[in-house]
Structures are given as C-alpha cells and as structure tokens.
Amino acid sequence: MSLRYGQPMIAIPGPSITPERVLRTMHRSSPDIYEGELVDLTFGLVEELPSIARTSGRAFMAISNGHGAWQMALCNTLSAGDKVLVLESGLFATVWGQMAERTQLNVEYLSGSNRLPIDPNMLEKRLSEDTAHEIKAILCVHTDTATSVRNDIAALGRAIKNLDHPALFMVDCIASLVCEQYEMDQWEVDITVAASQKGLMMPPGLGFVWANDRALEAHKSAGLRIGYFDWDQRLNPDHMYQLFSGTPPIQHIYGLREVLDMINEEGLENIWNRHQILSGAVRAAVETWQQPDGLELNIIEPQARSNAVTTVLTGTIDSEQLRNICSSEAGLTLGLAVGGLEADAFRIGHMGHLNPPMILGTLATIEAALLSMKAPIGGNGIGAAAEVIANAFPD
Ligand SMILES: Cc1ncc(COP(=O)(O)O)c(C=O)c1O
C-alpha cells in the first residue's frame, strides 16, 4: 500500500511545472507558418521579450535547451582563441566554460566555493591585472542550480564598469529568470541567457539570448558565427521563418505567448515577491529542522540564497533514502544533488507556477519522510514555514 496516488508533485529545479493553461494552448495542430496569426504572434514575442530581462536590447530565440543558448551567446560575439574568464560558483558556470573550451575559446577559471557567492573583489583584482585587455568576455551564472547560490550580478557589473574593462559581461539566468529580480541594463550586463523550462514554466525546447548594443557590435566581427545560431538572419528577417533559422517551434510559440500573458497579469515584481516568500518558507523549514550532523542549508550567506532552488546538505541522513520515501510513498519528486558537492545533499526546486499549498505540501511531505526515518531534526519546520506565509497574507 502506498499513499502516492493523487496528483504527483515535482519539486526538482527544472523542468518546472507547466501550468494547465499553457499546456492547453500548446496542445494544437500546426497552422500556416507563412502568414497569419502565428507570424504576428512571433514578431510580437520578439518585441516583448526584452521586458522580462529588463533590457532595451534585442532578444533572440533558438530551438534548443540552455546549452544551445550558451552556444548562441558565445558564437555570436567571440572569435577563436579569445580569452574568456569564467567566474565559478558551482557546476553550471564551469560547464559553460567547458563548452567555451570546446568552442575554441581560451578559457580561464576564477575558482570559487560551492557554498559562497562569487567575490566581486576577486574579479576586480583579476581584471586590474589585465591591462592589455586580453579578456574578451566574463561568464557567470546568476543562480547556480547545483549549489543554489544567487550571485550579486549588480556588484559584479559594477566591478567591471569601475575598471572600465571592455570585456563583455555574460550572465546565465537559466534558473533565475522571472524567479529573481534581474535588471540586465541597470546591472551593466551585455548578454543574458535563459531557457524555457524553469521560471518560464514551459517544456524544454526554447533557448533565449538577450544582447545589448555592445554585444550586437561585437557580433559584427565575431569569428565564431556559425550557420544555425548566427544572429544575422534573425536580426533583419524578411520572414518569420528566419527568426528561427528554419521551421519555428509553433507549439512553444503559443506556450510562450500564454506565459507572457500570465507574467503580465501577475506582474513581474509580484512574481519575484512570491518567489521570495515561498522560498523563505522553504528556508525557514530547513533552518528549523537543522541539527548538528543533520540537515543544513548549503549556502552560508543568507542574502546569497536563491529564490528558485534550495540545496540542503543532509549530514548523516541518507538523502537517497529520503528522496525514495518521498517519491515512492508520497508521489513527491525531489531534486538529486549534482555538481560534486562536498557532502550528501538533495535539492528542492521552487521555481515558476507555485503557491502555498504546493510548497507547504512539499515541506510537510519531507518532514513526514524525515520522521519516518527517525532522522535527527531540530523541530517542526512546517510551523516555521506556515508562519512565513502567514506573515505575507493581508491582516
Ligand atoms: C543555471 C543553469 N545553467 C545551464 C543549465 C543547462 O541547461 P540545459 O540543461 O537546458 O541545457 C542548467 C540546467 O539545469 C542550469 O540550471
């Protein structure tokens, strides 16, 4: 006998839950791709997409996952042999750097910790040594989905700006876009990268890159421009077909229109705020469960903890057993630890289409699994989480 029968709940850090109304709008056969509604709708998306990255720059789309969007960013702005500085803060910046190496770029890693955000002073020091301006691009991740750190992109942007260093500042917002406050122009970011399957609440399949004027200028002389990803056709399309270098991802286009409508209805700042409160509830629960040798939040500095994902170190508690109980006995899927963390861990994804019953249900199920394992926990995390949510309800 198992209690798992009912609506399954997925709490991994992407792909996230796709809302019913998005699924419904995607569930359609393909219309004419040469004229009519789809064409107007797609050009409308290109116009509107900059608003969610808070930029007046250009948005580009590709039929791809996040890796494809990484590739698009690199190939359109750099040339073989260019030096790229990768600011490590967990798995994903490093993997982006490895992709840059395979793209014939000369990659230097500024190593970081799995438990702390990138130190802007370290960046400033390294850039001040680069008097010949050999570094052509700086790559970092806003929220690293493995460690759940949220880097201070504004401070990093300021460090680059203060030195007047000309390197392009590229930020991976694949896990953070729409979940966390992000201000591409204000924070001096030249390139932003995202994908459809996390804060944008869609199935995987659409990659996005936003480019400001500096990035568009770099594109003109970029030696790595390659066919499918090249922005050339996408910049001045004679036809919608060219926005995707071929047949458009029709169902994703309809899905994205619905997602942007949902964002407009709720308001981007309200969405950031909802994520702040719901993730605060997660952190309150974990901090209440915390015990020596037991659970602990991976990220040490409170202000650097992501609102999209929480990595929980498990000490002497077996994370695999915990995840298995949640999944097989209760229908809750938690995220596996990835990225070579120093200790056993699991991850709670809290990005996108989520509300208090979903978060409280997730946390209560984790607590029930911990109780069933007779794991050492400090107290009733659900009470603490409910209090965070209660404080956000109107008086
Ligand atoms: C922060 C971050 N960057 C990049 C990626 C890679 O994206 P994809 O798996 O869609 O290629 C992920 C995937 O989880 C991610 O979380």
How far is ligand 1, taken at its centre, from the CA of residue 92, in Å? 7
Residue 90, pLDDT score = 94
How far is ligand 1, taken at its centre, from the CA of residue 176, in Å? 11
Question: Residues 308, 15: contact at Cβ < 8 Å?
Answer: no
The helix (H) or strand (E) run that includes residue 67 is helix 66-75
> What is the distance between the alpha carbons of residues 160 and 91, in angstroms, rounded to a whole number?
23
Q: Could you report the per-residue pLDDT of 279-301, keeping only the tens digit for each? A: 999 999 999 999 998 999 999 99
Inform me whether the pLDDT recorded for 63 exceeds 90.
Answer: yes
Atom number of ligand 1 nearest to Cα 70: 4
Please report, for the chain, the start and end positions of each structural domain, with discontinuous segments joined by +. Answer: 9-16+267-392, 20-264
137 beta partners: 84, 168
Pocket residue to mutate for ligand 1, from 145, 178, 309, most atoms within 8 A of Cβ = 145
Q: What is the DSSP letter of 357?
A: H
How far is ligand 1, taken at its centre, from the CA of residue 335, in Å? 14
- Cβ 175 under 6 angstroms from ligand 1: yes
- Cβ 174 under 6 angstroms from ligand 1: yes
Residue identified by tokens 């040798």 is 293
Residue 240, pLDDT score = 87
Pocket residue to mutate for ligand 1, from 92, 140, 177, 178, most atoms within 8 A of Cβ = 92
How far is ligand 1, taken at its centre, from the CA of residue 66, in Å? 5
- Cβ 256 under 6 angstroms from ligand 1: no
Residue 342, pLDDT score = 78
Inform me whether the pLDDT recorded for 244 exceeds 90.
Answer: yes
CATH 3.40.640.10 assigned to domain 20-264? The reply is: yes
- Cβ 57 under 6 angstroms from ligand 1: no
pLDDT-derived band of residue 44, with 50, 70 and 90 as boundaries?
A: very high
Mean of the per-residue pLDDT values for the chain?
97
CATH topology of domain 9-16+267-392: Aspartate Aminotransferase, domain 1 (3.90.1150)
Inform me whether the pLDDT recorded for 360 exceeds 90.
Answer: yes
How far is ligand 1, taken at its centre, from the CA of residue 292, in Å? 32
> What is the distance between the alpha carbons of residues 326 and 388, in angstroms, rounded to a whole number?
23
Q: Which two tokens stand for residue 387?
A: 């209090």
pLDDT-derived band of residue 26, with 50, 70 and 90 as boundaries?
A: very high
In this structure, the dihedral spanned by the alpha carbons of residues 296, 300, 304 and 305, taken in order and rounded to 10 degrees, is 0
Sheet containing strand 9-11, strands side by side: 9-11, 332-336, 345-349, 309-313, 296-297
Rounded to an integer, the average pLDDT of 92-105 is 98
Atom number of ligand 1 nearest to Cα 142: 1
Q: Could you report the per-residue pLDDT of 138-186, keeping only the tens digit for each? A: 999 999 999 999 999 999 999 999 999 999 999 999 999 999 999 999 9
How far is ligand 1, taken at its centre, from the CA of residue 50, in Å? 20
Nearest CA to ligand 1 atom 8: 66
How far is ligand 1, taken at its centre, from the CA of residue 15, in Å? 10
Inform me whether the pLDDT recorded for 262 exceeds 90.
Answer: yes
Please report the beta strands in the chain, taking only residues with DSSP state E, as ranges in sequence order: 9-11, 58-64, 83-87, 106-110, 135-141, 168-172, 191-195, 205-211, 296-297, 309-313, 332-336, 345-349
pLDDT-derived band of residue 341, with 50, 70 and 90 as boundaries?
A: confident
**Cβ density class 25-37: b for 16+ within 10 Å, e for less:** bbeeeeeebeeee
Q: What are phi and psi of 244, to 5 degrees?
A: -120, 10
Rounded to an integer, the average pLDDT of 27-51 is 94
Q: Among candidates 11, 5, 3, which has minimal Cα distance to 358? A: 11
Q: What are phi and psi of 107, to 5 degrees?
A: -100, 130
> What is the distance between the alpha carbons of residues 63 and 61, in angstroms, rounded to a whole number?
7
- Cβ 73 under 6 angstroms from ligand 1: no
Inform me whether the pLDDT recorded for 343 exceeds 90.
Answer: no
Question: Residues 351, 174: contact at Cβ < 8 Å?
Answer: no
> What is the distance between the alpha carbons of residues 147 and 309, in angstroms, rounded to a whole number?
9
Question: Residues 312, 286: contact at Cβ < 8 Å?
Answer: yes
Residues in the chain: 395
pTM passes above 0.85: yes
- Cβ 195 under 6 angstroms from ligand 1: yes
